[in-house]
Amino acid sequence: MANAIAYQGEPGSNSHLACAEKYPDFESIPCASFEDAFAEVTSGRAQLAMIPIENTLAGRVADIHTLLPETSLQIIGEHYLRIRFNLLAIPGGTIEQATEVHSHVHALGQCRKLIREFGLKPVIAGDTAGSARDVARWNDPTKVSLAPPGAAELYGLDTLAVDVEDDPTNTTRFVILADKAPLRSRDELAGDAVTSFVFRVRNVPSALYKALGGFATNGINMTRLESYMVGGEFAATMFMVDVEGHPEEAPMVHAFEELRFFTTEVRIMGVYPADPFRRR
């Protein structure tokens, strides 16, 4: 399918909003899982996938650090979305009637003040907008939803409160995936670039310190470093990294030379334009 972008979640979710904000002319395809969103791209039914990777409050998105290195897709961009949540109820419902609040685990964790204030029981749902759909289907005034703006109209609910998130700076970073292609050269990318890669260090003392030393000595800004176990062994550790710069730039060339000396595997997952949000 031409001009389509896949995302995990229900219509009206934050991932859906990110798709509409970044690619307003694309059709958005909801998927039940991240793997399903990847499959939409590999099958050709969608050109792109919009995947959340980290949040300023909740940290990294669960499972992504293991799923991304396993996919054949390539990161071609990033997008930052300001996260907002509204409290939704069935028509005529009130906050005084509510006893349970349903939403994604991250949304519940990002709206703790409201949940405590009204003594609501948090109930984890698979998706923020999906919780709004469920509340509408249950038609029970004791059950409310924390969902993004727009979900109320989409599912026929009343809005009891707006912007109820604890922190107004709450932001999620998404990466945009496409079929693997030759990495874009420095000349093909206008402005600042970001490089995402994974590596495995040799199982020797100070290997990680030495592997990353080249980025420090060459003045490269590392904005993300995540570790995770592979193969069910505590000794086998992979690292996922984002750095600001392009692999063709001299400092990056030197840093990668030093990295490869202390690692058994290095794989670049994408080289893409830095979102303007990074400079705010």
Residues taking part in catalysis: 172, 174
**CA distances for 91 relative to 3, 98, 148, 187, angstroms:** 36, 13, 17, 55
**Cβ proximity of 243 and 215 under 8 Å:** yes
Of 275, 274, 196, 209, the closest CA to residue 240 belongs to 196
Q: In sequence order, what are the residues at sequence separation of 6 or more whose Cβ sits closer than 8 angstroms to the Cβ of residue 93?
A: 141, 144, 158, 160
3-state SS string over the chain? CCCEEEEECCCCCHHHHHHHHHCCCCEEEEECCHHHHHHHHHCCCCCEEEEEEEECCCEECCCHHHHHHHCCCEEEEEEEEECCCEEEECCCCCCCCCCEEEECHHHHHCCHHHHHHCCCEEEECCCHHHHHHHHHHHCCCCEEEEECCCHHHHHCCEEEECCCCCCCCCEEEEEEEECCCCCCCHHHCCCCEEEEEEEEECCCCCHHHHHHHHHHHCCCCEEEEEEEEECCEEEEEEEEEEEECCCCCHHHHHHHHHHHHCEEEEEEEEEEECCHHHHC
